[in-house]
Amino acid sequence: MRPLYLQTMYQQMTERGLSSRTLRYVHVVLKSAMQEAVRWRLSLENPADGLRVPQQPRNEMRALSVDQARTLLKVQCAQSMGQ
């Protein structure tokens, strides 16, 4: 197995709509399995080493508006007082 084959497979998975998180899971499993093959001398090198896997997008955190914060505090205070 060659790195180009794995990279092509990752690209096809992306085109099929799989998430970057799923691709990262697949990559971790493949890399681990290939590393075992190297340890057992079934392969000379790990073809998953050095491959580029899409990064997971990071969601931007949004702060509550002043009105949302007031509502949250009112609800929390009411629940704390048993109302």
pLDDT in tens, 7-57: 999 999 999 999 988 999 999 999 999 999 999 999 999 999 988 887 777
Confidence category of residue 5, pLDDT binned at 50, 70, 90: very high
Buried b (16+ CB within 10 A) or exposed e, 13-36: beeeeeeeeebeebbeebbeebee
Q: Residue 58 — φ and ψ, nearest 5°?
A: -100, 130
Residue 2's domain comprises 1-54
With 80 as the cut, is the pLDDT of residue 6 above it?
yes
- Is pLDDT larger for residue 54 or for residue 66? 66
Binning pLDDT at 50, 70 and 90, where does residue 83 land? Answer: low
Task: Give the DSSP H/E element, type plus range, for residue 26.
Answer: helix 20-39
Number of structural domains (the chain) is 1
> Residue 35's domain is classified under what CATH number?
1.10.150.130
Is 44 among the domain residues? yes
* Interaxial angle between packed helices 20-39 and 3-15, expressed in degrees from 0 to 180 and rounded to the nearest 10: 160
pLDDT of 79: 83
pTM over 0.85: no
60 lies in some domain: no
